[in-house]
Amino acid sequence: MNSLPGRAALSLVFAGSPGRPAGAVPVDGASLRAVRVCHSGTSRQGSTTTKKRGYDITRNPHLNKGMAFTLEERLQLGIHGLLPPCFLSQDVQVLRVMKSYETRADPLDKYILLMTLQDRNEKLFYRLLTSDIEEFMPIVYTPTVGLACQQYGHAFRRPRGLFITIHDRGHIATMLNSWPEADIKVHTHTHTHTQLLMAGKLNSAALGIAHLLMMAMAKEGISREEAAKRIWMVDSKGLIVKGRGNLNHEKQEFAHDHPHIKTLEEVVATVKPTAIIGVAAVAGAFTEKIIKDMASFNERPIIFALSNPTSKAECTAEQCYQLTEGRGIFASGSPFDKVTMADGRTFVPGQGNNAYVFPGVALGVIACGVRHISDDIFLTTAEAIAGMVTEENLAEGRLYPPLNSIREVSFKIAVKIVNYAYKNNMASLYPEPKDKEAFVLSHIYSPDYDSFALDTYSWPQEAMNVQDV
């Protein structure tokens, strides 16, 4: 029972309960005993040591294992008596959290439950997430995390992360010294022949997408100037064109020699793009007319509504598929449910989210010591993700691998980055490993519990003779 899927495990618990709900899956006695088994809870994944003792262990989410501590560990760490006199496996702990999770209907309540678990037992938190990523990702990430930000005071349990404001300019180094961890590997920060139409506020997201598209075109032999001509930008004032006042240098690169058009509907009707990408956080920006127009001059119109959260998406997956008669190629920033058409076809919307990117990039960069993450790294990552999409995925309308395969996706991205880094002299850790896959695998985080090693040994008997008077 190394990795029992959360819902399957919960079904087993219900099936073994006296008052199990109607329709619960019956299980054999051996399977039920396997779920109920109560053992040490430690895996042979590895061992660790710590100088902390007592409550400093049970109140530290990095070290705490709850009732999965063995008796030997409890005695060694000075926590015997500080925990109930019972021993649980990590699998049973996952089942218990799942039962509590299933009693909550509101996504924000589920979010608070999971964040509380992360604050208490980090390994168990990640073990739970990996048991059913498609279930938990929309809770700990978009769209629920957006709601949690809006209701931060209600959801607050303890501060997480480092909060730096504009008023701290010039003193950031001092603030970084306040962070309790010394060995920091990665940090993330937040703020807020094809024609491509970018509809947005021309923020870092829009410009970043545009520049990566230009890099991808250049790799196909298209010059930077020609690539820029294939990308049309729209901001709050309309189409970015030459002669329009107050254009900064970033906008000027994408300004076209074209009459100014103010509305997005008019721009789409005039430019006739093959793809539209929305990053403006304006709900409904892709109107019915825009989507139908895209379908009228494209066999497979590409419609990306990438704004988060779901309430800010430029259109829904259902609108895209229904208005294009199932021909639309859709991706969104937040998850949407499957869409079933009148003719029985079912489409699974792709979530164009950095959840597919950052874990694999961070793993690859850390593994080989890349000191500067260039745009080439992200282009390599995009190619790796695209290469993992199967024909079966495409038939379902998926532009990305299923979310439940995210760990495998991240692993393959990291391997590709490591290969790229050593090939292009970007790595700083040498000698270069021969087996890149095994090398990356050795750096992957495991949510299984480590055992707390007790270094015990004996001296020769003659060296331990007690001197007496």
Domains contained in the chain, CATH given: 6-141 (1.20.1370.30), 196-352 (3.40.50.720), 356-432 (no CATH)
Q: What is the pLDDT averaged over residues 152-164? A: 83
Residue 355: name the closest of 320, 418, 317, 400 by CA. Answer: 400
DSSP lists the bridge partners of residue 231 as: 196
Q: What is the pLDDT averaged over residues 361-366? A: 96
Q: Is 353 annotated as a binding residue?
A: yes
Any idea which of 51-60, 158-167, 287-296 has the lowest mean pLDDT?
158-167
User: Which pLDDT score, from 0 to 100, does residue 247 have?
Assistant: 86
- Residue 28: CB atoms within 10 A of its CB come to 9
pLDDT digits (tens, 9 = 90+) for 294-328: 999 999 999 999 998 888 999 999 999 999 999 99
State the Cα–Cα distance between residues 322 and 193, nearest whole angstrom: 27
Whole-number mean pLDDT of the chain? 86
Concerning whether 141 is annotated as a catalytic residue, the answer is yes
CB-based contacts of 352, cutoff 8 Å, min separation 6: 304, 306, 331, 332, 333, 399, 400
- Residue 261: CB atoms within 10 A of its CB come to 18
State the Cα–Cα distance between residues 114 and 136, nearest whole angstrom: 9
The C-alpha angle with vertex 70 and arms to 64 and 76, in degrees rounded to 5, equals 80
Which of 52, 201, 251, 272 is catalytic? The answer is 201
Q: Is 246 annotated as a binding residue?
A: no
Question: Taking 50 as the threshold, does the pLDDT of residue 187 lie above it?
Answer: yes
pLDDT digits (tens, 9 = 90+) for 96-108: 999 999 999 999 9
Both structure tokens of 357: 């990117």
User: For the whole model, what pTM was predicted?
Assistant: 0.78
Which of 65, 101, 111, 141 is catalytic? The answer is 141
User: Which pLDDT score, from 0 to 100, does residue 199 have?
Assistant: 58
State the Cα–Cα distance between residues 458 and 51, nearest whole angstrom: 22
Concerning whether 436 is annotated as a catalytic residue, the answer is no
Name the percent of the chain lying above pLDDT 70.
86
Residue pair 266/231 in contact (Cβ under 8 Å)? The answer is no
Question: Taking 70 as the threshold, does the pLDDT of residue 45 lie above it?
Answer: no
Residue pair 331/399 in contact (Cβ under 8 Å)? The answer is yes
Question: Taking 70 as the threshold, does the pLDDT of residue 51 lie above it?
Answer: yes
